[in-house]
Chains A and B, each alone.
Chain A
Amino acid sequence: MAAVLAMVARGCGGVWRRLRQRCAVRPGSGPFPRGERAVACNARGGMMSAGKSGLTPWIPVVGLEIHAQISSNSKLFSGSQVQFAAPPNSLVSFFDASLPGTLPVLNRRCVEAAVMTGLALNCHINKKSLFDRKHYFYADLPAGYQITQQRVPIAVNGSLSYSLCIDNKMSQMVTKTVRIKQIQLEQDSGKSLHDDARSQTLVDLNRAGVGLMELVMEPDMCCGEEAAAAVRELQLILQTLGSSQAVMAEGQLRVDANVSVHHPGEPYGVRTEVKNINSIRFLAKAVDYEIQRQIEELGNGGTISNETRAFDSKLGFMPEPNLPPLILYDAKSLPANMNHQQVINIDWIRERLPDLPSVKREKLVEQYGILPEHSFTLLVWQQDQNCNSRHSNEDGLPEFFENVVKQTQMKPKKVIGWILNDLLSYLKQHSLTVKESPVSSFLLADLLNLLEKKEISSTAAKQVLAELWKGKGKTPLETVKEQKLELLQDQKELEQICQAVIDGQENEVMAIKAGNQKVLNKLIGLVQKKTQGRSNPVLVKQLLEKKLSE
Chain B
Amino acid sequence: MLRSSLRQVSAALKEGRVTPTELCQRCLALIKSTKFLNAYITVTEETALKQAEESEKRRKRGQPLGILDGIPIAVKDNFNTAGIETTCASNMLKGYISPYNATVVQKLLDQGAVLLGKTNLDEFAMGSGSTDGVFGPVRNPWSYSKQYKEKSVPKSHSEDEEYNWVITGGSSGGSAAAVSSFTCFAALGSDTGGSTRNPAAHCGVVGLKPTYGLISRHGLIPLVNSMDVPGILTRCVDDAAVLLGSLAGHDPKDSTTIQDDFKPFELPDLPDVSKLSIGIPKEYHAPGLSSEILSLWSKAADLFKNAGAKVVEVSLPHTRYSIVCYHVLCTAEVASNMARFDGLEYGHRSDVKDSTESMYAATRREGFNDVVRGRILSGNYFLLKQNYEKYFVKAQKVRRLIANDFGKVFGSGVDILLTPTTLSDAVPYTEFIQEDNRTRSAQDDILTQAANMAGLPAINVPTALSERGLPVGLQFIGRSFQEKQLLTVAKWFEKQVQFPVIQLEEAERHDNGVFQHQKSASFS
Contact = CB atoms under 8 A, between A and B. Distances in A.
Interface of A: 1-5, 7, 94, 97-106, 133, 135, 137, 139, 142-145, 201, 203, 313-318, 321-324, 342
Interface string B264-294: 0000000000000000000000000000000
Contacts of B345: 7, 97-99, 142
B336 A133 contact: yes
A280 to B, nearest CB: 34
A108 to B, nearest CB: 12
B252 interface: yes
B98 A3 contact: no
B358 to A, nearest CB: 9
Given A142-B340, A201-B356, A317-B388, A99 B346 contact: yes
Given A135-B336, A203-B344, A101 B392 contact: no
Contacts of A105: 252-253, 255
B99 A94 contact: yes
Contact of B385 (A3, A94, A102, A314): A314
B385 A100 contact: no
Contacts of A315: 385
A316 B340 CA distance: 15
Chain B binding surface, main DSSP class: loop
Given A5-B344, A137-B339, A316-B388, A101 B356 contact: no
11 contacts: A2-B355, A4-B359, A7-B344, A100-B86, A100-B346, A139-B356, A142-B344, A314-B385, A321-B256, A322-B255, A342-B259
B342 A316 contact: no
A321 B340 contact: no
A324 B225 CA distance: 12
Contact of B255 (A98, A104, A203, A316): A104
Nearest to A320: B225
Q: Which of A2, A137, A139, A316 has the most CB of B within 10 A?
A: A316
B256 A324 contact: yes
Interface residues of B, number: 48
Contact of A144 (B79, B342, B354): B342
B49 interface: no
B387 to A, nearest CB: 9
A101 B255 contact: no
Interface in B79-101: 79-80, 86, 88, 93, 98-100
A317 B255 contact: no
A341 to B, nearest CB: 12
B384 A316 contact: yes
A340 B346 CA distance: 40
Q: Which of A97, A99, A139, A317 has the most CB of B within 10 A?
A: A99
Contacts of A314: 384-385
B215 to A, nearest CB: 13
Given A94-B99, A316-B380, A100 B340 contact: yes
B47 to A, nearest CB: 20
B219 interface: yes
B482 interface: no
Given A5-B344, A100-B93, A313-B385, A318 B336 contact: yes
Contact of A102 (B218, B224, B354, B359): B218
B221 A100 contact: yes
Contacts of A313: 385
A318 B333 contact: yes
A152 to B, nearest CB: 14
B385 A101 contact: no
A299 B88 CA distance: 61
A321 B80 CA distance: 20
B233 interface: no
Contact of B383 (A1, A3, A98, A316): A316
Contacts of B151: none
Contact of B355 (A3, A98, A143): A3
Interface string B232-252: 000000000000000000001
B340 A2 contact: no
Given A3-B355, A318-B383, A145 B336 contact: yes
Nearest to B344: A5
Shortest 5 CB-CB distances between A and B: which pairs? A144-B339, A316-B383, A321-B225, A321-B226, A100-B221
A5 B356 contact: yes
A400 B222 CA distance: 57
Nearest to A205: B345
Contact of B354 (A2, A142, A201, A342): A2
A197 to B, nearest CB: 16
Interface in B345-363: 345-346, 353-357, 359-360
A322 B225 contact: yes
A523 B319 CA distance: 105
A79 to B, nearest CB: 10
B321 to A, nearest CB: 20
Nearest to A339: B259
Q: Which of A105, A137, A322 has the most CB of B within 10 A?
A: A322
A144 B336 contact: yes
B302 interface: no
B255 A144 contact: no
Contacts of A317: 383, 385, 388
B332 interface: yes
